[in-house]
Amino acid sequence: MGINVKIVLDTCALIWWSLDPDKLSQNAQTACNNMERDKNGLVPSTAIWEIAIKIKNQKLDLGVNLNEYVTALKKSSVIEIVPIDEYIWLESVKLEWGHRDPVDRVVVALARNNDAEIITVDKEITSFYSKVIW
Split into its structural domains, the chain has a count of 1
Q: Is residue 78 part of a domain?
A: yes
CATH of the domain at 51: 3.40.50.1010
Q: Is residue 2 part of a domain?
A: no
Output the pLDDT for position 65. Answer: 94
Q: What is the pTM of this model?
A: 0.93
Three-state DSSP class for residue 6: coil
Output the pLDDT for position 4. Answer: 78
Output the pLDDT for position 3. Answer: 63
Output the pLDDT for position 20. Answer: 94
Output the pLDDT for position 1. Answer: 46
Alpha carbon distance 120, 25 (integer Å): 10
Alpha carbon distance 80, 8 (integer Å): 10
Which portions of the chain are predicted below pLDDT 50? Answer: 1
Alpha carbon distance 32, 78 (integer Å): 10
- Residue 80: which domain range? 7-133
Q: Is residue 1 part of a domain?
A: no
Output the pLDDT for position 75. Answer: 95
Q: Of 76, 84, 78, 79, which is closest to residue 108 (Cα–Cα)?
A: 84
Q: Is residue 119 part of a domain?
A: yes
Q: Is residue 76 part of a domain?
A: yes
